[in-house]
Amino acid sequence: MPAKPPRKRPEKPDAGKAAGRPKRTFSPAEGKDVGERKRTFKPADGKDAGERKRTFKPADGKDAGERKRTFKPTAGKPAGVRKRNVKAAAAKAPEELIRLNKYISNSGVCARREADELIRTGHISVNGKKVTDMGVKVKPSDTVEYNGKALTPGKRVYILLNKPKGYVTTVKDPHADATVLDLVKDATTERIYPVGRLDKSTTGVLLLTNDGDLAGKLTHPSFGARKVYHVFTDKEVTRHDMELIVSGVTLEEGVVGADAISYPEPDDHTQVGLEIHSGQNRVVRRMFEKLGYRVRKLDRVSFAGLTKKNLQRGHWRNLTDKEVSMLKRGIYK
């Protein structure tokens, strides 16, 4: 059987053009060559051909081309000042409650632990009513009184005193001739109190403040505020007794030990340097007395990293911001 001739594909017209349809032509604008096509428009008055810009009618007193949105100002307000009116809240935000003992300590009466005792024994009243519940919370606007005198929390004050002999560290003592507050009476108008205790015969570093939170922190043994004393005794302290002082001496409240002890003067063993964290009353004197020594002189040379350097006996100074920050961060070096 003879082979069929190959089938010829029909010729496809140009894309977009109908087969057999004539090509569309156009007449060029005057001054233009055939094949050059450009849309033209009539320029605005005063403009060159080909330059096109939208125009608008300027506001009164404005130059052509300057456009600014204007508005009618509110009565009593200069033109150009616009403020959104916001409806005031129906009620004020509630006042933050704080514990009563913190309120008292912030007023400079005493530390928070002592404030609890004042509350328990009925020395505190709130808005005219006596309060004995130590868990009570108050508002800043409440009237809190201590023995009938209104308390007001004030700014924080931190005073470092080089205490001399003959002054007691209580705020008030009817039997004392002078208290440490007599030495700092010109330091501040805020009510401040001593942090910890130094007995009447002990000299050296003493901090006074109205910051109850910090005072409570520094006097609590668990926070590790270090105290260093220079002890002068009536006889030489033996190395055996020094070891006993470090290991612990039995006192009325239990066994109390020092953190470290040494001879500051190698040739004079009647003097010892003692480091201790306990803040119990007259603890250093009682430890030595328990071992048969009489303390002739006791001087605290350091408390929580604060020293009496360049501070004469009986003089005081304000703590620096760096020192306050150190105390609050617990850096007791």
The DSSP string of 170-228 is SS--TT-S-BGGGTTTTT-SS--EESS---TT-EEEEEEES-HHHHHHHHSGGG---EE
Reported as a single tens digit per residue, the pLDDT across 183-235 is 999 999 888 989 988 999 999 999 999 888 888 888 877 777 899 999 999 99
Print the domain residue range for 261.
226-303
**8-17, 91-100, 121-130, 214-223: range with lowest mean pLDDT:** 8-17
CATH number of the domain to which 118 belongs: 3.10.290.10
| Pairing label, strands 295-303, 203-209 | parallel
User: Does one domain contain both 231 and 295?
Assistant: yes
User: Does one domain contain both 292 and 324?
Assistant: no
- CA–CA dist 246, 278 (Å, integer): 12
User: Does one domain contain both 316 and 279?
Assistant: no
- The answer to whether residue 17 sits within a structural domain is no
- CA–CA dist 206, 269 (Å, integer): 27
User: Does one domain contain both 246 and 299?
Assistant: yes
267 is annotated as an active-site residue: no
Q: What pLDDT, on the 0 to 100 scale, is given for residue 171?
A: 78
User: Does one domain contain both 140 and 178?
Assistant: no
Count of structural domains, the chain: 3
- The answer to whether residue 146 sits within a structural domain is yes
User: Does one domain contain both 210 and 233?
Assistant: no
- The answer to whether residue 315 sits within a structural domain is yes
User: Does one domain contain both 173 and 212?
Assistant: yes
Reported as a single tens digit per residue, the pLDDT across 54-102 is 555 655 665 555 555 555 655 655 555 555 554 444 455 677 888 998 8
Catalytic residue chosen out of the listed positions 173, 177, 182, 199? 199
Residue 278 pLDDT more than 90?
no
DSSP label at residue 2: P
CATH number of the domain to which 189 belongs: 3.30.70.580
- The answer to whether residue 24 sits within a structural domain is no
Mean pLDDT, to the nearest integer, of 236-254? 94
Q: What pLDDT, on the 0 to 100 scale, is given for residue 55?
A: 56
User: Does one domain contain both 175 and 317?
Assistant: yes
User: Does one domain contain both 141 and 111?
Assistant: yes
User: Could you give the 3-state DSSP secondary structure of residue 256?
Assistant: strand
User: Does one domain contain both 138 and 204?
Assistant: no
pTM: predicted TM-score of the whole model, two decimal places: 0.61
User: Does one domain contain both 216 and 254?
Assistant: no
SS3 content of the chain, % helix, strand, coil (to 5): 15, 20, 65
User: Does one domain contain both 284 and 137?
Assistant: no
